[in-house]
Amino acid sequence: MELFELTLHEASDLLRQHLISSTELTKAVLGRIEAVEAKVKAFVTLTPELALEQAHQADALLAGRAEPPSPLTGIPMALKDIICTKGIRTTCASRMLENFIPPYDAIVVERLRAAGAVFVGKTNMDEFAMGSSTENSAFYPTVNPWAADRVPGGSSGGSAASVSSGGAFYALGTDTGGSVRLPASFCGLVGLKPTYGRVSRYGLVAFASSLDQVGVLAKDVTDCALALQVIAGYDPNDSTSVDTPVPDYHRGLQGGLRGLRLGVPKEYFVEGMQPEVAAVLRQALDKLSELGAELREVNMPHTGYSLPAYYLIAPAEASANLARYDGVKYGYSDQKAEDLWDAYARTRGHGFGPEVKRRIMLGTYALSAGYYDAYYLKAQKVRTLIKQDFDQAFKDFQALVVPTSPTVAFRLGDKTGDPLAMYLSDVCTLTANLAGIPAISIPCGFVDGLPVGLQILGPPFAEDLLLRVAYAYEQATTWHRQRPRI
């Protein structure tokens, strides 16, 4: 086995035993990136010099110590290019921020630095996180490592592709409507969206502020738990951060499923779901029953309204957040304008891509006088009803199990001309963002050689329970051990 094929926890164990060095690990990962990046295109910016410098620092720190300061010490990882990194270009895969270098680190980056993480680069994404396929990047689309003609999912497709292809041991992404979980499903990884407020958003470039959440993409559940442990926790810099204790996620993995009640909402098995995907998911549900969980159907009556509600709320918030890109303060600025209004029009017209413009226009319309009550306000009321559905379900069930996606990864270019078809890719994931609850996607099988994901939803701040359920299923199956051949 090559070093880049190890899981985070396997690599950490070898480092702790002084059987390998962080420098060796980092060189192996950088070599893998060099070998496959031209095919996968997972990264926007690579930082090999920084990675080797951090690896040398980690080796010095680990020398002579029985235990590393953190399981993440000396382990190469990747960051979605929407997370601010001091002195490192942060583009959001947009021409608008193509040359933007933040003067500060996001809090999650600060915590990773303190844990001794090794940063190999910033990953590609849909522009400003608006998309489900990573085809909306202003630079180039990312390719699914499992099939050269398929998308990796979005908007954190670069993060998923980097881990799946061996270019990072784990990666951070962001999830506004499924943007960690969908790429995890499409690329055969574990993807966790924490509860809104569990992980600081300070230093995260905003798309939709009431929905965005930093999440983890990893090769298995243990790796996901170890990474979440470092980035979770209260941050006074973030007004939406919640000051609640962070449990020991790694220690909590071993509880098993016996006695747990898991609900299966029928509304998530949507019309148009790929029959082969539905069959794989039914087998996964049977396995959960075999492991001792009690599964029963549950009714979530407002689920069908989640897609239109989301695609009013998210664009409305995007319209407000992206108003700051005016060509005056920072970012791209068109210098050929004749006056101020022409400068705004030229800067935003050239700096933003088609999908970002589409969502700004949708959001601006929904917030405009005469339409606010009819669209945005009504969508927020529907959001409350969706949250109440979950509250009611969690009175009877500890967690819910649903598909992550109604299909396997679709072909590059298949949905770029049909925005609604693209939006439907998120139909099983965006409810968790509207309700602010945690959700995790885990590999549960394959259809035609492409991965399928099972999604587990839980009450607020129940990440430990979701990881426990996911771990029990993972240990009883072998799907998570399969890797793409590139």
* Residue numbers annotated as active site: 80, 155, 179
E strands, 277-325, are: 294-298
Please state the length of the chain.
Answer: 486
Torsion, Cα 458 459 460 461, to 10 degrees, reads -60
User: Rounded distance, CA 103 to CA 187, Å?
Assistant: 33
How crowded is residue 236: how many other Cβ atoms within 10 Å of its Cβ?
Answer: 10
**Residue that is written with structure tokens 């029985």 in the block:** 66
Residue 331 gets the label, from left (phi > 0), alpha (psi -120 to 50) or beta, of left
Tracing tokens 């933007």 back to the chain, one arrives at 100
Cis amide prior to 319 (ω within 30 degrees): no
Pairing of strands 170-174, 261-265: unpaired
Burial class (CB in 10 A: 0-12, 13-18, 19+), 29: buried
Q: Which residues pair with 447 in a beta bridge?
A: 450
User: How many angstroms separate the CA atoms of 353 and 138, rounded?
Assistant: 7
DSSP-assigned letter for residue 51: H
Spatial separation of the C-alpha atoms in residues 453 and 284, rounded to whole Å: 10
Cβ pair 334, 106 in contact under 8 A:
no
Instruction: Name 461's bridge partners.
Output: none
Whether the CB-CB separation of 253 and 222 falls below 8 Å is answered with yes
Q: Edge-to-edge strands of the sheet including 450-457?
A: 43-46, 118-123, 76-80, 170-174, 214-218, 190-193, 439-447, 450-457, 399-403, 261-265, 294-298
How far apart CA 349 and CA 341 sit, in angstroms, is 12
Token reading at 394: 């969690």
Tell which residue, 484, 483, 433, has the closest CA to residue 194.
433
